[in-house]
Structure 1
Amino acid sequence: MIRHLITLMWNRKRANGLLIVEIFLAFVVLFSVGSVGVYTWRNYQTPLGFDYQDVWEIDLNPGTQPRAEQFGTLQRILQRLRSTPGIVSVSRSVSNTPFAFSENSTTLDTGEGTPQGYGDVYDAGAELPEVMGLRIVAGRWFDRRDDAVSRRPPVVITELMQKALFPDGQSAIGKTVRASLGKPEEFQVIGVSGPYRAGGELSEPRPGFFLYVSPQDTARAMQVLLVRVRPGAGAALEKRITNDVRAINASWEMGVNPLPTQRLAQLKVNLAPPVILGMVCIFLIVNVALGLFGVLWLNISRRRGEIGVRRAMGATAGNISLQVLGEILVLTTFGLGLGLLVAAQFPLLGVMGVQTGVYLTAMPLAAGLLYLLATVCALYPSRLAAGIQPAVALREE
């Protein structure tokens, strides 16, 4: 049966060529959009590694105050915030807070010729795990022991960074690593944390590491704070914080951005490209479906005599319906074969650095959708062909 269908398709290769090209292009579009969808879904399913609920980002602007006086003012603000009812904990940070559309990244390695880990850099105080619910899986977080000046400052790396630096499964605790932060500098790993995906749910999980900011650190001017507040805190607490900052120094300005609000804003921006691609894909698939349906309808109209002869020779309505359905599935297979040859190049060439599993998942999804589309488009025309009566068809010829 299959051999017969292939022979029929070959005998009408000119008429079917355009349809095969159309199916091929539809597969390429579906595969591309499917890859984006699978990639986005996998990222969304990966844990963030922190709790953003009831966390506020406070951005402070010292205004015209001399730089030499800013650290003292910042310390007074921190002291006031930690004593404010409704605030659970406060940690110093930098601009690349979660969902902030900001990143700071560099390379970390363990020496010449060793594996490197490229990831995000976060400056954090000792309170960050309490503020963000960050999980420590090995070693410890920063504490007062790290306030003393040492030849190798402490660093906490994420699990992904540990895997990148030590692919053989070694523990990173106590090891010396190097980072290029303006100039090469050595650090000692004191802890390994869980994931910390400041880029949000739709971003690709990346390695990262944390640098310690001691309470006495004046080298880095950081006027960004992460504050955990009690559940239900709202405008009243925000107004009190604003008034307290102005009371400490009237030249300082501040803005409060709840992380849940920033998360929603980031999701809207990051979801825009996949949604647009999906809409374009739907438009193209609808056109492909209309094309398949129209071609099948036209073929049946032109082949009424052939179908009438088959019915007169004893072919049942089911045989005719299966033949029409089989022909479109064979054509779909030809188009998919060409499309799979193109799609197979993506994981082989490592296009866009996406994991191979994303492409291997998108391929069968795109193929399955095309087979489903071809089957649905062929159902009604196949029923029309099955309903042709031999006498009527032969009289029309």
Structure 2
Amino acid sequence: MIQHILKLIWTQRRRNLWIFAELLVVFALAWYIVDYQFVLIHNRMLPNGYDVADTYRISYKSLTDKNKEAFRQFYDRVRLYPGVESAFLTDRFSGVMPYSDTYNGISISVDSTGNSQTYYGQMKAIGSNNYFEVFKVHSVVNPSALGRLDRSNSRSVVLTQNLAEALFKGASPMGKRVFMNGKSEYVVTDVVQPQKQYDHAQPHHSVFYYENDTTIAKPEIAIRVAPNFSFEQFKKEVSGSIVSYKNVGRNLDFMLGVTNEIRLRTGLMIFFLLNVALGIIGTFWFRNAAKHGEIGLRMALGSSRSTIQKQYIAEAVLLLTLAAVPAVCVNFTLLEAGVIKTLGEQFSDSGYITANKWLRFIITNGLTYLLLAVIVALSAWIPANKASKVHPVEALRDNG
């Protein structure tokens, strides 16, 4: 059957050339949209590494020597308020909290001689283990427990799992030394889940360590609350500058333009696919309308409606398959040229599917083909189904 359809396509090559060109262009454009959505959906499905349910951020005005005592009293009121299970204090610009727009980078390696590979990650200075308690950051070494820094050792660090695996190549990092910026020596006391900075991003490398002498100029307090916590009452009695971390993430996405970009591209994708579907339906409708006589003749010779419909669907999908070959070559050229920039792309050694350029390329082109195959099959079936319902005598008369 395929050989027969190929002969028909070649026989009608002038008519099919425009459809071929249309499908080629559509495939290349659709791939760009599919690739963008694939990365976005993939990254959102990855765990954040922390739990922001029932957590809130409380901001405080600038902390100075004059209001230190007032702030201490304020912090005590927050952490002792009914329904507050745990509280954690840091500076707003430290980059420690989830959805922070601050990133404090650091290099880290397993020796100070420069002979080992150096990785880069985010340094998160925490003054207590309350961070792990507030955001329910679990240990990978002991999944039933939360992450822990050894407070008896000021040179202890907690690594995220992706960084630990990169540094120690699968070996246990517990008790081993690491060097920050090639000089400062620390001992690994725990490994926790990989951490995201944003919901749409991949987890990045992070290092948690104590820095008790950190100067806090813009206090930010994170709290985890119990079911008996009254949000409205807290706003009245303690502070009106309280907001859930889920809203913090949404607000930051909006501020950085991520929300508008996602809405715009999603809207364009829906609009584009609808127009593609309508365009292809129109093309095949006109094409099949020109074949009324042929359809009538085939039905007069004994072909069933389903046989005719299957043939036209197969012909349309085969045309798409032929157009997909050069379209993939076009996509390959675009990828190699570095034209494709997608929200949420991460460093190339993250280990995720989206960071593997060629695996991602194969998957997204495959998804594009499947998506367009459905649209093309439906586009060919609608006019073919209508045409096959016409009585053979009427079809032959119209053609004559």
TM-score range, shorter chain: 0.7 to 0.9
Contact conserved, 1:29 with 1:281, CA < 8 A, in 2? Answer: no
1:320 alignment partner in structure 2? 308
Counterpart in 2 of 1:164? 166
Which SS does the other structure have where 2:16 is aligned? helix
Q: Does 1:194 align with 2:202?
A: no
1:344 is displaced (CA, Å) by: 5.5
Is 1:26 equivalent to 2:38 in the alignment? no
213, 220, 224: which one pairs with 2:220?
224
2:214 aligned with 1:211? no
The yes-or-no answer on 1:105 pairing with 2:101 is no
Distance 1:319 1:84 in 2: 74
Contact 1:59 1:224 in 2 (8 A): yes
Task: Give me the TM-score of the superposition, normalised by structure 1.
Answer: 0.80
Q: Is the 8 A contact 1:94 1:123 kept in 2?
A: no
**Superposition deviation, residue 280 in structure 1:** 1.2
Letter in 1 for 2:320: T
Letter in 1 for 2:265: L
Deviations 1:181-222 (A, max 9, x none): xx953332222112333x2432211121112133xx255656
Tell me the residue number matched to 1:299. Answer: 287
Change (3 A) 1:106 1:71: farther
- In structure 1, what is the Cα distance between the partners aligned to 2:36 and 2:385? 37
State the distance in 2 between where 1:116 and 1:195 align: 18
Distance 1:94 1:14, change over 3 A: farther
Q: Which moved more, 1:374-383 or 1:107-116?
A: 107-116
Match of 1:134 in 2: 137
Contact 1:58 1:226 in 2 (8 A): yes
Q: Does structure 1 conserve the Cα–Cα contact (< 8 Å) formed by 2:62 and 2:217? A: no
- Number of aligned residue pairs: give it: 372
1:234 aligned to 2:231? yes
Structure 1 Cα separation of the partners of residues 241 and 200 of structure 2: 26
Aligned residue for 2:238, secondary structure, equals helix
Gaps of 5+ in 1: 148-152, 243-253
Gaps spanning 5+ residues in structure 2: where?
349-353
The answer to whether the 8 Å contact 1:56/1:226 transfers is yes
Q: Does 1:146 align with 2:153?
A: yes
Query: What amino acid sits opposite 1:130 in the alignment?
Result: E
Q: 1:235 & 1:213 partners in 2: Cα distance?
A: 34
Match of 1:286 among 255, 274, 280: 274
> Using a 3 Å threshold, how does the CA distance of structure 1 residues 292 and 89 change in structure 2: closer, same or farther?
closer
Q: Please report how far the alpha carbon of residue 259 of structure 1 lies from its aligned counterpart in structure 2 after TM superposition.
A: 1.5
* Aligned mates of 1:375, 1:220 — CA distance in 2: 62
1:53 counterpart SS class: coil
Aligned equivalent of 2:351: none
| Counterpart residue type for residue 89 of structure 1 | S
Q: Which has the larger radius of gyration?
A: 1
- Where 1:61 maps in the other structure, the secondary structure is coil
The 8 Å contact of residues 92 and 222 in structure 1, kept in 2 or not, is answered as: no
RMSD value over aligned CA atoms? 3.3
Identity of aligned residues (%): 24
Write the letter of the residue equivalent to 1:196.
Q
TM-score with structure 2 setting the length: 0.79
Paired position in structure 2 for 1:58: 58
For 2:247, the equivalent position in structure 1 comes to 261
Distance 1:143 1:81, change over 3 A: farther
Change (3 A) 1:347 1:161: farther
Q: Distance in 2 between matches of 1:2 and 1:287?
A: 29
How far residue 260 of structure 1 moved from its aligned partner, in angstroms, is: 3.0
Q: Distance in 1 between matches of 2:305 and 2:231?
A: 70
Pick from 89, 93, 97 the counterpart of residue 92 of structure 1: 89
Question: Which residue type is aligned with residue 124 of structure 1?
Answer: I
Residue of 367, 370, 394 corresponding to 2:369 = 367
Tell me by how many angstroms 1:390 deviates. 5.3
